[in-house]
Chain A
Amino acid sequence: MSAQVLTYIFVGLTFGLYIAIAIWSRSGSTKDFYVAGGHVHPLANGAATAADWMSAASYLSMAGIIAFEGADGARYLMGWTGGYVLLALCLAPYLRKFAKFTVPDFVGDRYYSQTARLVAVLCVVFISFTYIAGQMRGVGIVFSRFLEVDIDLGVGIGMAIVFFYAVLGGMKGITYTQVAQYCVLIFAYLVPAIYISLMLTNVPLPMLGFGSTLNDGSGVFLLEKLDGLTQELGMAAFTEGKKSTVDMFFITAALMAGTAGLPHVIVRFFTVPSVRDARISAGYALIFIALLYTTAPAVAAFARLNIIDALNETEYQALPEWFSKWEDSGLLAWVDKNEDGKLQYRGGAALEPVKPIFSGERGASGERLVSNEVGASANELYIDRDIIVLAHPEIAQLPNWVVALVAAGGLAAALSTAAGLLLVISSAISHDLLKNTLARNLSEAQELRWARVSAAVAILIAGLFGIYPPGFVAEVVAFAFGLAAASFFPVILLGIFSTRMNKEAAISGMLSGLVFTTAYIVYFKFMAPELNHAEHWWFGISPEGIGTLGMLLNFAVALVVMRVTPPPPESVVTMVRAIRIPKKAA
């Protein structure tokens, strides 16, 4: 059977499964809708958290980034897993004991302030929409590439599925579909990785395979070969980083603190029955996540090696079939700079600007011509890093069912994250903005109806973002982490670990962290992008890592303000003491 037919079958089967789960787990109350009634088994919550967390970016893009950046890719690997240690140790158990529904709930109650609650609502909505736009786009890309439907139609189908189980099932529906989606996505990620690891090294576990010797009889370690090849071709050695130590440090810290401060992840820990369950659940979640995150660098190394092997010094006519398919979708391009009819893959950018602008004509060998300036380097290949995960099974010539599986996995990753984000947006609107601020006399049934309405509206907006992607999406995703690190993380942490922490300190800390981080990013990304180089950055910290500095500023301001303003009321101090103790009050 062709890969396309198989993809239709796999995607159809998984979608059917998600819908069946949604019908089985409908929500009857706001508690069901916001936190799945608070009785999700910690193991199920772990799997759901993993799917919630691992987005289209983790699944589709991360291995590709590492494949081309090598050692520097470690900031994502450590940043997006190390945050769970912070979350498990410093936040999750206490927030579970707090036992409300949302992150703005905590901020509003702990800091006895409607202003703080509203600032938190705004941050939640902004962070979540930033994220969701990327997910819906990911859904569209998978549909268009594998099922050859229009990207817009693909986004539409994705919206319909999420609509069904998020609006109907709320958190309860989302939780159990996320468990299923985790199983689909991890299976789809591991199968091709295991296949390729066996093909290259005879070692079945990819996380061990990429530290093993090649099975071509040379006895050379895979990474040694890859380091040699990359240097020979004038690229940075795969295992050597190019980023400065200070920048790596700050970016990794921003990603970690940002991960711990992301509302759609935090809220998952409200769904388990007890404090003890919240702790162990974070452990399960990290095991599930680590399975993919330890495989990703292996996939990256395998892919880089396979690409060099398949493309370098090959005549255009003799290039594998997948090359022309991805060339047609504009994600690959070749310029025959030395006019020898063969593809030379070297260090440096092939084109100027970097992304190809196709002229619509064909060259001497039949390649799509570009109208870009050709860069100074001898490199003739443009390759978009987002295609690595999707194209790798084809590059390694794996069977069609594996290719189809990868598509179903990509959809599972994107849909599960989108649903988690939608729920956070909808609860921020119906619970924090309406029930707790604007319309306090809302009945349970009315609140539930509003939760569904806001979820539906949020899906429509997210879909529009997917169909008309604002050009700045990629730029603002790093922003979302910096924002979470510079705003929520310090405020929640101090709210638990200091009884002296008060409203004035929280608001001034959050605002200074936010304003500083936003200003730095907006300046370098939008106002003066031509200055966005290490020599202009403060202390050599890139906009991607500035959230860490914003977070430190937030802490500093909060600690100073706290000392010169009145302490919080006694009732708040009692509440903080209570959330530190797992035992329920007598």
Chain B
Amino acid sequence: MSQEDHQASIQGSGEPAKNGSPSASDEIGHRAYWRANVRTLLSLLSVWFFVSFGCGILWVDALNAYSFFGWKLGFWFSQQGSIYAFVVLIFVYVAQMNALDRRFNVDEDR
């Protein structure tokens, strides 16, 4: 049992089923996994909303009062910054989900 697995079972949320057959503990683990998944999504999507709709559209005029190298800040967010943020968000998501899969014993290698 890896350290992460151990931690998960201490928290009582991801007890793995030893023989792979569907069981009540599997069911509970899956629900906890799904809740953790949705939490991850919501926090990443709030960043997504903040950089694009927030900095790039809603507050663009206010941010344009500041300059960022040769750009007005709001303009930079709407034409460059938000796109960089999107890329970073997906890779953070991949890392967090892979960790989550392992923690709850639901990754595809098992």
Contacts and interface: CB of A to CB of B under 8 A. Distances in A.
A85 B89 contact: yes
B45 A85 contact: yes
A487 B45 CA distance: 21
A248 interface: yes
A340 to B, nearest CB: 35
Contact of A290 (B69, B72, B84, B94): B84
A90 B79 CA distance: 24
A241 interface: yes
B25 interface: no
Interface footprint category on B = 35 or more
B93 A580 contact: no
Interface of A is mostly: helix
A294 interface: yes
B107 A294 contact: no
A89 B41 contact: yes
Contacts of B82: 77-78, 81-82
Contact of B76 (A211, A279, A293): A211
B90 A584 contact: no
A376 interface: no
A583 B110 contact: yes
Interface of B is mostly: helix
Interface string A282-316: 11001100100110010000000000000000000
Contacts of A222: 70
B37 interface: yes
A41 to B, nearest CB: 16
A222 B70 CA distance: 7
A479 to B, nearest CB: 22
B53 A253 contact: yes
B83 A279 contact: no
Contacts of A497: 38
Given A249-B57, A581-B30, A283 B79 contact: no
Contacts of B75: 71, 74, 223, 239
A88 interface: yes
Given A85-B48, A85-B89, A290-B87, A280 B30 contact: no
A511 B64 CA distance: 41
A252 B97 contact: no
A583 to B, nearest CB: 4
A275 B94 CA distance: 11
A544 B91 CA distance: 31
B106 interface: yes
A496 to B, nearest CB: 11
A245 interface: yes
Contact of B79 (A213, A297, A586): A297
B94 A274 contact: no
Interface residues of A, number: 53
B94 A223 contact: no
A252 B69 contact: no
A200 to B, nearest CB: 12
A74 B84 contact: no
A294 B83 contact: yes
Q: Which of A71, A85, A222, A276 neighbours the largest number of chain B CB atoms within 10 Å of its CB?
A: A85
Contacts, number: 138
A586 B21 contact: yes
Nearest to B44: A89
Interface string A226-243: 000000000000011100
Given A89-B44, A283-B90, A283-B91, A213 B84 contact: no
B107 A245 contact: no
A221 interface: yes
A276 B101 contact: yes
A212 interface: yes
B79 A287 contact: no
A136 B103 CA distance: 49
Interface string A547-586: 0000000000000000000000000000001001111111
Q: Which of A249, A279, A585 neighbours the largest number of chain B CB atoms within 10 Å of its CB?
A: A279
A162 interface: no
A239 B86 contact: no
A380 B91 CA distance: 49
Given A85-B45, A241-B60, A297 B90 contact: no
A279 B93 contact: yes
A73 interface: yes
Nearest to B67: A221
A360 to B, nearest CB: 42
A240 B71 CA distance: 12
Contacts of A252: 52-53, 56-57
B66 interface: no
A286 B69 contact: no
A302 to B, nearest CB: 13
Interface in B3-62: 20-22, 30, 33-34, 37-38, 41, 44-45, 48, 52-53, 56-58, 60
Contacts of A583: 101, 105-108, 110
A283 B94 contact: yes
A221 B75 CA distance: 14
A10 to B, nearest CB: 29
Given A74-B79, A211-B70, A241-B60, A582 B90 contact: no
CB-CB nearest 8 A-B residue pairs: A221-B70, A74-B78, A211-B70, A283-B90, A297-B79, A586-B20, A583-B106, A239-B75
10 contacts: A74-B79, A85-B86, A89-B45, A90-B41, A252-B57, A276-B107, A286-B90, A294-B83, A580-B37, A586-B22
Interface of A: 66, 71, 73-74, 77-78, 81-82, 84-85, 88-90, 93, 207, 210-213, 221-224, 239-241, 245, 248-249, 252-253, 274-276, 279-280, 282-283, 286-287, 290, 293-294, 297, 497, 577, 580-586
